[in-house]
Structures are given as structure tokens and as C-alpha cells.
Amino acid sequence: MLKTADLPTQVLIAPAGAGKTLAGFLPSLIELATQPSLGLHTFYISSIKALAADIKRSLISLIGELGLNISVENRTGDTSSHIKKRQRSAPPHILLCAYADAINLEILFVQIKQAGPYNTITRREFDASREFCATGGCALRRYDQWHRLQ
């Protein structure tokens, strides 16, 4: 996977529970470990809040075991306004988002658009990425890399 990390797409095949979702974050973790950055690097969209929470726990555990300085946070419809405000001014490196309805999607679009790497994303592109992720989520490593999939 590391040898092909710069390719626009990769396919990872493994049985359920083998860590495919977590493996999808490896390019982001490697990039953040070798080239630390401020602000949002990766966002993950999920239609299931519990999935986003499980992924956060797994990522935080892995990041801790590796001794990396990478921040991971969730954003759902239940996220408090003061946390959302802080996430806008000081976003985590990895933001895991779970949405439930069109209102949350509109808010999510505005907040994602405010993040550095994603500030040029259009609503049409956002909706396309959301549809791309509709089967349970997909880690999107920087908007420009996702855009190559178009």
C-alpha cells in the first residue's frame, strides 16, 4: 500500500473486521507523521454515527501506540456549538463526520468548505464525494487527490 500511496485509487480486499477502514487512513497517518501540518488534513464522511465513533477509537489507539502527534475528532448532529466553533478555528488533523439529514449536510458543507484544503470544493463536488462515501464512509485524503477520481 505504501508503494502505491500516490496513485489516485487503490483497492483493498480483506474479510470483514480485518481493518480495511483503518488501513484507508494509513496514507494520511504517514503523511502527517513525516510532514506535520496544521489544520484539517483528512475528513471522513459516514452515514452511521456509531461507525465514526468506532473509527475514532481505533485511530486514537493506533496513533497513541505509534507515539504520533495527530489529532482526531468527531462531528455529528450532537456535537456542541462550542466544540464546532473550536473545530472551525482550530480544526483537528482528521475529522470524522456523521450525518443524518439534509440540514446536517448543509451545515457540514459550509464547515468543510471553511477548512484549508477543502476551501475550493463546490456543493456539487461535495455531494458527489458524499455519494461516493454513501456505503459506510471513505477516508478522503485531501480534496485535490479525491478530485482526481472524477
The Cα 18–Cα 120 span in angstroms is 35
pLDDT score at 39: 79
- pLDDT 10s digits, 19-44: 777 888 888 898 899 888 777 888 88
Whole-number percent of the chain with pLDDT over 70 = 69
Band (pLDDT 50/70/90 cuts) for residue 1 is low
- State yes or no: pLDDT of 150 exceeds 80: no
- C-alpha distance from residue 89 to each of 15, 68, 111, 146 (Å): 39, 22, 10, 24
The Cα 114–Cα 122 span in angstroms is 12
Say if pTM beats, i.e. exceeds, 0.75.
no
Whole-number percent of the chain with pLDDT over 90 = 15
- Residues 6+ positions from 123 with CB-CB distance below 8 Å: 109
Q: Comparing 71 with 19, which gets the higher pLDDT?
A: 71
The Cα 61–Cα 112 span in angstroms is 25
The Cα 30–Cα 126 span in angstroms is 25
Q: Comparing 97 with 66, which gets the higher pLDDT?
A: 66
Give the DSSP per-residue string, the chain.
-GGGTTSS-------TTSSHHHHHTHHHHHHHHHS--SS--EEEEES-HHHHHHHHHHHHHHHHHHT----EEEE-TTS-HHHHHHHHHS--SEEEEE--SHHHHHHHHHHHHTSGGGTT--HHHHHHHHHHTTTT-EEEE-HHHHHTT-
pLDDT score at 60: 96
The Cα 72–Cα 56 span in angstroms is 7
Q: Comparing 80 with 39, which gets the higher pLDDT?
A: 80
pLDDT score at 137: 44
